[in-house]
Homo-oligomer: A and B are copies of this chain.
Amino acid sequence: MIKTKPAKKPSTRFRRETPEDRRRQLGEAALRCIVKHGNAGVSVRQISAEAGVTQGLITHHFGEINELVAYAFDIMSEGLLQAITAAVNAAPPSPRERLDAFIEASFSPMLFDRDVLGVWVVFWGLILHSPRMSASQQGEYSSYVVTVEGLLRDLAEAEGFAVGNLRLTSIAFTALLDGLWLAWCLNPAAFRPEDGILLCRNWIEGLRRGAYAEQVT
């Protein structure tokens, strides 16, 4: 018998991983499945196939699939916020330039991406019907808004303009970013990412001119 294919026969049938590593592998496989198939990608069979393991492994490490999805959400949130803060910290230390780095990072292909929105839309759908997911979301949103608050506060102090309610104003700026992201992903022909940057700078200009100075609360 001739070995036509010198196939690399694995000496072992599967590799044993630490729970921590395996959980992360499964979480990332889940994200890839969601990118490819949207809500339909949230499935024990598809995710385990994507990760190259059998279905039982998901049950073993996460109990039920919802826990895996929630874990994937945490991975994703953490990664994005980290990417943004890295971009901000890589910028020159002036408030002006840090905020600008924040805006440009938000519209960079890494974040301003249909696939990324696709994942978030699936998460939003789950958040609206799952207290477990909702709890994670509240935490992530809160820290995101706090980040924006810091950037806007520093700019206001450096340039000497007034902001009535910093928290509400930060929520508005965050909403503008998310809304533009959503609109562009659903209607890529409506405007270009650089137009989005421009519109954010216009918003900041409104802030400079005192449009947000009077806020009773």
Q: List 18 A-B contacts (CB under 8 A).
A: A127-B186, A128-B186, A138-B187, A138-B189, A141-B183, A141-B190, A145-B190, A168-B195, A168-B198, A171-B195, A172-B176, A172-B199, A174-B179, A175-B175, A175-B178, A176-B179, A179-B179, A203-B206
A38 with B128, Cβ < 8 A, contacts A171-B199, A172-B202, A202-B215 known:
yes
User: Taking the complex as formed, is A117 at the interface, i.e. its CB lies under 8 A from any CB of chain B?
Assistant: yes
Contacts of A199 in B (CB 8 A): 168-169, 171-172, 175
Name the distance in Å between A214's Cβ and chain B's nearest Cβ: 8
Which of A22-30, A90-98, A118-126 interfaces with chain B?
A: A118-126
Contacts of A114 in B (CB 8 A): 128
B207→A38 contact, CB < 8 A: no
B141→A186 contact, CB < 8 A: yes
Q: Is the interface of A mostly helix, strand, loop or mixed?
A: helix
Taking CB atoms and an 8 Å cut-off, the chain A residues in 62-111 that contact chain B are none
B186→A180 contact, CB < 8 A: no
Interface size class of A (residues with CB under 8 A): 35 or more
User: Taking the complex as formed, is A185 at the interface, i.e. its CB lies under 8 A from any CB of chain B?
Assistant: yes
Taking CB atoms and an 8 Å cut-off, the chain A residues in 180-217 that contact chain B are 180, 182-183, 185-187, 189-191, 195, 198-199, 202-203, 205-212, 215-217
Contacts of A178 in B (CB 8 A): 175, 178-179, 182-183
A187→B137 contact, CB < 8 A: yes
Chain A contact residues, CB within 8 Å of chain B: 37-39, 114, 117-118, 121-122, 124-129, 134, 137-138, 141-142, 145, 168-169, 171-172, 174-180, 182-183, 185-187, 189-191, 195, 198-199, 202-203, 205-212, 215-217
Contacts of A198 in B (CB 8 A): 168, 215-217
Which residue from B122, B141, B183, B216 sits with its C-beta under 8 Å from A125? B122
Complex CA gap A203/B203 in Å reads: 8
